[in-house]
Amino acid sequence: MCRFWRSPQQLNCCFNSSPAKIALQNLGQTTIIESMSKQQKGEFDTARQHMLRWDLKDRGINNERILAAMAKIPREEFVPDSHRTQSYHDGPLPIGMGQTISQPYIVALMTQELHINKDCTLLEIGTGSGYQTAVLGELAKKVYTIEKLPELSDSARAVLGRLGYSNIEFFVGDGSLGWPEEKLPQQGYFDRIMVTAAVPTIPQPLIQQLADGGLMVIPVGFSGVQELIVCEKRAGKLIERNICDVRFVKLYGKYGFEE
């Protein structure tokens, strides 16, 4: 997505037949399934290590907490079966309903730009598959995440619950409006905000809900290519810094794009 990125390499995550697999055909069905499950896990583990070394560290992702989180989280759990073998491919993947799971590098880059610590309360706009949410959940004290599509929110909630995350709160609605005022955290604002869909301009409700001194990362632009921007709020105003060109799906809503 960034115009300066090196070309992505294809990951060999396809689970091709092997002599070991063929030899198992005479065993019970349960044994075959268990063996294949172990084989797949091993291949996913290898692909995850490849991602960490070549797609993250080699491109300047050096935050150890982020690297540890992405080494721990099984990305394949958030990808539809039709694309599961491509889970660690260096690119976005479709998750249905016109939405995508962002490529690993973008997930890491946006997270690194937020400088999240263990005491941060964070708002995520666009739950999507839940993978980015999981990364944030590993780093922040509490994550509040909004998804417009109920089916995606339910799916992400199920996966994150199965993986044991208990510091994430979900809401289905218009993310451009921010978190519902009556449900805001006790302090009434968020230390960090991450927006995972493109907006024409930065929504005013998100600016209002960002703490003074807080950081927001957000893709902004009208065309197929947007600017990924990091904003720091100082005395009620945003200080913006462009990171790179990106391509995100649009955020639809009152302060987003019209449907």
Both tokens of residue 192?
């960090």
Both tokens of residue 80?
């539809």
Q: From CA 258, how far away is CA 252, in angstroms rounded?
A: 6
Residue 140: strand, helix, or coil: coil
Q: Comparing 250 with 18, which gets the higher pLDDT?
A: 250
- What are the beta bridge partners of residue 234? 237
Residue 124: strand, helix, or coil: strand
Q: Does residue 152 have a pLDDT over 90?
A: yes
Q: DSSP H helical segments within the chain, as ranges?
A: 19-23, 29-50, 64-72, 104-114, 131-139, 150-162, 204-209
**High-pLDDT (> 90) share of the chain, %:** 83
Q: From CA 227, how far away is CA 222, in angstroms rounded?
A: 10
User: Average pLDDT for residues 178-196, to the nearest whole number?
Assistant: 97
Would you state the pLDDT for residue 40? Answer: 87
Planar angle of CA 252, 256, 259, nearest 5 degrees: 40
The residue from 87, 102, 153, 155 that is catalytic is 102
Residue 227: exposure state from Cβ atoms within 10 A (0-12, 13-18, ≥19) = middle
**pLDDT band at residue 7, thresholds of 50, 70 and 90?**
very low
Instruction: Answer yes or no: 102 catalytic.
Output: yes
Planar angle of CA 121, 171, 221, nearest 5 degrees: 80
Would you state the pLDDT for residue 2? Answer: 38
Q: From CA 126, how far away is CA 128, in angstroms rounded?
A: 5
Hunting for tokens 């959940």 — which residue is that?
A: 137
- 72, 78, 82, 87: CA torsion to nearest 10: -30
| 41-84 pLDDT tens trace | 899 999 999 999 999 999 999 999 999 999 999 999 999 999 99
**High-pLDDT (> 70) share of the chain, %:** 86
Residue 19, number of CB atoms within 10 A of its CB: 7
Q: Comparing 171 with 23, which gets the higher pLDDT?
A: 171
Strands 210-220 and 190-195: parallel
Mean of per-residue pLDDT scores for the chain: 89
Q: Which domains does the chain have, with CATH numbers?
A: 19-86 (no CATH), 93-246 (3.40.50.150)
| 77-133 pLDDT tens trace | 999 999 999 999 999 999 999 999 999 999 999 999 999 999 999 999 999 999 999
Q: Does residue 24 have a pLDDT over 50?
A: no
Q: Does residue 35 have a pLDDT over 60?
A: no
Would you state the pLDDT for residue 117? Answer: 97
Residue 214, number of CB atoms within 10 A of its CB: 21
- Please state which of the ranges 29-43, 56-70, 141-155 shows the lowest mean pLDDT: 29-43
Q: From CA 175, how far away is CA 206, in angstroms rounded?
A: 9
| 188-223 pLDDT tens trace | 999 999 999 999 999 999 999 999 999 999 999 997
Would you state the pLDDT for residue 223? Answer: 77
Q: What is the pTM of this model?
A: 0.86
**pLDDT band at residue 34, thresholds of 50, 70 and 90?**
low
